[in-house]
Structure 1
Amino acid sequence: MIDYRKATVPVWTLATGDVQVPALAGDGPMTAERLAELRGVLAALADQPIATLEAHPLPDGLDRGRGIPLDAASPLAQHLSQLITQSARGSSAAATATAAGEGLYRMVVPAKVAAQFAQGVVRPMATKGMAGGIRGPLVNSVTGRIVAGATFQPVGTAAAAGAVGGAGATAGVAVGGSVALTVAAPLVLMAVAVGVSASADHKRQKAVEHITELLEQLHDEKLDDERSELNGCRDAIDKATAVLLDHGRPGVSLGLDSAVHAINTALGAADDRLAKWRSALDKLPDGKAVEIATLTKAFPGVDEDGGTFRAHLELAALAIALKRRVVVLQAVEHAQSDPGNPFENFTRALKSAQRRLDELESGIAGVLQRLSALELARPQGLRPVFTNVEVDRLMRAANRIHRLADGVTADGPTPDVAIEIARDRDGSVVVFPALAA
């Protein structure tokens, strides 16, 4: 989304606690590579999570439908406005970049911190033609093209974006060559929470689209009921998200308890199906080709573009995406119940609650990889020769099965995570799905 052709980009360094680190950035402009190195060093040196925030011009034709909107009175919008206002008083770079009142703000959380909350939600985008490669920070996410590098100007003025407890706090240069970073725990917490929630909802949308297409072919009322019950949870989750992000407390009237029950039931069904799939694969003879008929008994429709097996995969993906949004809500609520250390409580709650989801997602990925590696045998029969139709069916089935692992992302190091926030002149914001930086 960001176009890096702009010559100079102001950048803030934010901390979620009152910490001091060696003065590493200096006052001069930095390259994107230098900024990435700085984030890594600060994350290693500081005992509190560190993030950076960049201010870019608002792109034309921005698709706001992918994000979660928050009005100007929301805590995230207020903390961002406070940071902008106070920074502009002492930094010409910040004042120039924020003078229009609107812009696209990009918060990047280092991999060390991101690993605490983004595993299974944000993965690096693989590059074509380069095994294990990921897209670097200077790629326009709309065109996919590499663009010219920008220079990043540190905002060195003291700025307050809300202290750990939510009250204003100042930060500035301390004696002895160390720097007290801007304390902005609520801003970082809210940006991460909404970005991760938007990312999970984006996955939900894709899963619903795939399931709907599959069920139109299958005409399976039972699976259709599963889909409808899961998708019906969205309203309660959306309302709870809005209430929590306005520092409220969701009540029983929102229906979140019923939604969580439906999601947990679907996750239980996904666990059962995963166990059956693993068992069926374990029963296959090692090193021998497998007939399609044998495979389709355990994985109905695996040799087709649609099929029950693929619908089960999408239902599991839908349940996981919805649960990840609920987990974020629970983590935010837990963090806000103890204003003294919201980010620590947030990451702790996320990490413990999403472990089961990561295991389920990883287990399904393992099944798909094992299936895609199978060798298919030609059907056994009395005839020594097969018709062209039978040969074509075998070839198509083999191709479909071997492509099952195409969408599987191998687990690897968690990348830096970027959350992009569009801010309008009235102070309202739209937070887009978190992505790999």
Structure 2
Amino acid sequence: MTDDRKAIVPVWTLATGDVRVPALVGDEPMTAERLAELRSVLAVLADEPIATLEVHPLPDKLDRSRGIPLDAASPLAEHLSKLITQSARGSSVAATATAAGEGLYRMVVPAKVAAQLGQGIVRPMASKVAAGGIHGVLVNSTGIAAQATFVPVGKAAAAGAVGGAGATAGVAVAGSAAFTVAAPLVLMAVAMGLSANADHKRQQAIEHITELLEQLHEQKLDDERSELDGCRDAIDKATAVLLDQGKLGVSLGLDSAVHAISKALAAADRRLAKWQSALDKLPDGKAVEIGTLNKSFPGVDDHGGTFRTHLELAALAIALKRRVIVLQAVEHAQIDPGNLFENFARALKADQQRLDKLESSIAGVLERLSALELARTSSLLPLMHIGDVDRLLRAANGLHKLGDGVMVNSPTTDVAIEIARNKDGSVVVFPALPA
């Protein structure tokens, strides 16, 4: 979308169950700021999670490789198509915005719901400009105009209620506000966005590990990487089966994949405990020699060191586990189709807490390391060689950079999921990110 101050964007309010809230939406156009306020109020007042869904023109340049494609027959694409078709009948704004058949749909799930889904799934990017600040940039949204006017789409037939792919939905009305009951659409969009987010982190970890191993020539670590990345095939197949509302079977190989991931997480836990113990033994307020640090954190002063490879292996295991947890939550939610979103959130939260704790603890280690002061290696010589000085400076700089972007207790933000819809009804779901 161009930066057109007169751009009109329809926005749906999607409930995951019957809601009872004051009439807040109405039919009047809203600014982006007003829409953000509305989301906050709905998150506080509504008994059930309420998401908002906007539709923008598809940007000219869109990197679809970062998302997960689904064909037009997939439940998510079908639910979205029903919402578009039925909403267009009762809203000229919705009809105009969706007439082309393609668009960029942006679903925002409130922070209160995001907290239920685990804080580590979608983490804001730390800002280097202000201490404690975060970036709120949404990927692939460079074409979305900030000055658009949002028009609520109300009193439209819904895209599918709490009963599954073939169900029809009602509209939960409170005062003059209408909320489309579309639990499956919200559930599937969130599940796919979180899965794509975890897979994007997996790709990043694999790239980093590959680069590090090329320098290390460490066969044991290479085997760890191969075993973990080999889990992707089973996870991808299981994702496809579940989102087509099928049943997971032993032939998919998900059990062996989960076992490999669990082993990698256990290794990460052991390494974390050793790192924490080593840091606890360091003298408070005193500079630490590089050699001493390298005993517990091998290669910490080197970009391609073993310690950094261990960090990336842990990141890979966490990313893969997050995808598995989403799969398990979707499966659990589909067992009880009458209560989709609550089951989904409950199943996610329990296992996510362990991962959040592991990720937060590793971030804490990096923060402590980045704050250390390095000392020259003990020597009888009163002066240091130029090479030693350069090494000390490089090591100190690299150590301090370990803390860049680390957020031990990141704030929970609204979660945004973008869905590119093609003219044939197929969709690409992009990684979930902070709204």
What's the counterpart of residue 132 of structure 1? 132
Preserved contact between residue 62 and residue 140 of structure 2 (Cα < 8 Å): no
Work out the CA distance in 1 between the residues paired with 2:276 and 2:318: 19
Write the mapping of 1:31-70 to structure 2, written as runs, cut at 5 A: 31-70=31-70
Q: Secondary structure at the match of 2:21?
A: strand
Q: Give the superposed CA RMSD.
A: 1.7
Could you tell me which residue of structure 1 aligns to residue 74 of structure 2? 74
Q: Deviations over 1:174-217 (max 9, x none)?
A: 5xx25341100000000000000000000000000000000000
Change (3 A) 1:367 1:430: same
Structure 1 residue 111 corresponds to structure 2 residue 119: no
Correspondence list, 1:364-375, <5 A: 364-375=362-373
Match of 2:294 in 1: 296
Give the Cα separation in 2 of the matches to 1:280 and 1:310: 16
How far does residue 143 in structure 1 lie from its aligned partner after superposition?
8.7
TM-score (norm 1): 0.96
2:66–2:431 Cα contact (<8 Å) kept: yes
The alignment status of 1:377 with 2:378, answered yes or no, reads no
Determine the C-alpha separation between the residues in 2 that align with 1:4 and 1:112: 31
Matched position secondary structure for 1:20: coil
Q: Deviations over 1:42-94 (max 9, x none)?
A: 11111100000000011112111100011111110010000000000000000
Distance in 1 of aligned mates of 2:45 and 2:312:
42
How many pairs are equivalent? 432
CA contact (8 A) 1:161 1:168 kept: yes
Which residue is equivalent to 1:264? 262
Q: Paired residue for 2:345?
A: 347
Whole-angstrom CA distance in 2 between matches of 1:218 and 1:311 = 9
1:308 corresponding residue in structure 2:
306
Alpha-carbon offset, residue 355 of structure 1: 1.0
| In structure 1, C-alpha distance between the alignment counterparts of 2:390 and 2:396, rounded to whole Å | 10
**SS of residue paired to 2:278:** helix
Q: How many angstroms apart in 2 are the aligned matches of 1:248 and 1:145?
A: 36
Query: What's the CA shift for 1:148?
Result: 4.3
Fraction of identical pairs, as percent = 78
2:324 corresponds to which residue?
326
SS of the counterpart of 1:25?
A: coil
**2:52 partner SS:** strand
Tell me if structure 1 keeps the 8 A contact 2:329–2:344.
yes
Shift of 1:123: 1.7
Alignment of 1:18-417 (within 5 A): 18-135=18-135, 141=139, 148-166=146-164, 167-171=167-171, 173=173, 177=175, 179-417=177-415
Shift of the 335–148 alpha-carbon distance from structure 1 to 2, 3 Å rule, reads: closer
Q: Which amino acid in 2 is paired with 1:203?
A: K
Counterpart of 1:425 in structure 2 is 423
Q: Is the 8 A contact 2:139 2:433 kept in 1?
A: no
AA in 2 matched with 1:155: V
**Unmatched segments (≥5 aa) in structure 1:** none
CA distance in 2, matches of 1:314, 1:269: 12
SS at match of 2:417: strand
1:165–1:140: structure 2 CA closer, same or farther, 3 Å change rule? closer
Residues 142/63 of structure 1: CA separation in 2 closer, same or farther (3 Å cut): closer
Aligned partner of 1:37: which letter? E
Which SS does the other structure have where 2:301 is aligned? coil
Contact 1:215 1:311 in 2 (8 A): yes
Amino acid corresponding to residue 67 of structure 2 in structure 1: G
CA contact 1:301–1:309 (8 Å) conserved in 2: yes
**Contact 1:243/1:250 (CA < 8 Å) preserved in 2?**
yes
| Contact kept? 2:209, 2:225, Cα under 8 Å | yes
